Amino acid sequence: MDTIDKFVDQVIDSPSDFTDLDRIYVHNKVLGLIGDDAPVEAKGNQVVDLTDALIATAIKNGNIEDSASDKEILADQLMDMVTPLPSALNHTFWDLYQESPDAATNYFYQLSRDNDYIKTRAIAKNVEYEADTDFGKLEITINLSKPEKDPKAIAAARNQPENGYPLCQLCMQNEGYRGRLGYPARTNHRIIRLTLDGETWGFQYSPYAYFSEHSIFLDEVHRPMVINRQTFSILVQIVKQFPNYFVGSNADLPIVGGSMLSHEHYQGGRHDFPMMKAPVDRAIDLGVDGVEAGIVKWPMSTIRLSSSNTTALVAAAVKIHDAWKNYSDESVDVRAYTNETRHHTTTPIARKVGDQYILDIVLRDNQTSAEFPDGIFHPHQDVQHIKKENIGLIEVMGRAILPARLKTELQEVEKYLLNAHNQMVEMHRPWADAIKAKYDINENNVEKIVDQEVGKVFARVLADAGVFKWDEQGEAAFDKFVSTVKTYTA
């Protein structure tokens, strides 16, 4: 059997809509994509191995160029053949849901891995470890999975007309979209439809996942992100439907928000983040019956709400959010507005434990100043050699998403610490010198020391983003804010 025959077998055996009667049709469909000449031999029998060989065949036959964009488009077209139609997938998902939410998500997640929508080979390149800090173990990742933009595609895309379709990479119109120069292929992409607050939403997985079963819940309508009563209500509804997952929303303001504020969406998955393991430092009274509340021992200012009554839980979250939007305390640089520019919002995260719904509400402030032009409550300049980017939902919860540059840069730091020849970037020198003075470093411990010190920097990054610091003044200021929440009326 040649590569095409093996691939056709995979298509017929997959959960797709093709049967053995479609064998000739599928064979010819593949030839139409890769050309008629003899196929390149695959290095393995997995569907991704066969797809790689078919892509190489298409390049050899001149059907596509040897460019990242062309290869991605063809790969997804081939993988689309092993993927059920959206209607069939949704039908199977909701049939399995009647058995259990776990059965449904397990099916969809495995399919999204098998058809290479979730880029498992790329994700495996990421660096991951835990670091001990004053706030417990934090999760450190260096993100190496997302491919670099193809220079040829960037240049060519400049001359392509903008058609505005899909409006963004989170729109439902991406499902089955072929892709183009400068815009990712999504032919093998599928979205589960669900109803939240009487409106249609989508549920999909993230192709370059940052944690286990990293999923996205997206509004059918392309509209900007906002945090309000409906946000809290929908988050609770999602964990009610999927109690095996957490779900949270990025803040809805620049600097403290995520990277995509133009389309309402939330992120979730099956992962216990460090913040979820953090204890409540002290209980507080918000004046909402049936809701337990407390300040979490966490570098970012977080109030944890717990209740079996979802209506009361949402009411408490709204009370905190609305009070915070209008709250100022000049003594700790907290200002709700500058002229008419709003600075305050929240990052909410929901999960279910037993019969209790839990909402963690993280207070955010996006002010800038002459001293901190990137943000007063943003990583300060002395830690930006490790992390300068926005602190979004995932990092709020204690999982660092650090830039790919650090993999090689930290190797040079290690050489510097060992007094070996190195090409360490100058911005790391003050930090590296402080590490040098602190430890007796040798070849056996240098990597672990650097890893742990990166973790401590990330803890500082989170502390910078916390609006109320863990010192006497900050704790008193937090308690002062809480007292206003109890009496707050809209």
pLDDT digits (tens, 9 = 90+) for 392-422: 999 999 999 999 999 999 999 999 999 999 9
Q: At what angle do helices 446-465 and 405-417 cross, to 10 degrees?
A: 120
Looking at residue 333, its pLDDT comes to 96
Looking at residue 258, its pLDDT comes to 74
pLDDT > 70? residue 490: no
Half-sphere exposure of 444 (CA within 13 A, CB side): 1
Looking at residue 434, its pLDDT comes to 98
What does the block give as tokens for 100? 């259990």
Section 136-149 average pLDDT: 87
pLDDT > 70? residue 157: no
Section 465-471 average pLDDT: 97
pLDDT > 90? residue 161: no
pLDDT > 70? residue 78: yes
Residue range 93-105, pLDDT digits in tens: 999 999 999 999 9
Q: Could you tell me if 131 and 109 are in contact, meaning their C-beta atoms sit under 8 angstroms apart?
A: no
Cα 308 from Cα 197, distance rounded (Å): 19
Residue range 194-214, pLDDT digits in tens: 999 999 999 999 999 999 999
Cα 418 from Cα 420, distance rounded (Å): 5
Q: How many CB atoms lie within 10 A of CB 359?
A: 26
% of the chain residues with pLDDT over 90: 93
Residue range 335-346, pLDDT digits in tens: 999 999 999 999
Looking at residue 319, its pLDDT comes to 97
Q: Model pTM?
A: 0.94
Phi/psi for 445 (5° steps) reads -115, -5
Residue range 47-72, pLDDT digits in tens: 999 999 999 999 999 999 999 999 99
In this prediction, residue 154 has a pLDDT band, given cuts at 50, 70 and 90, of low
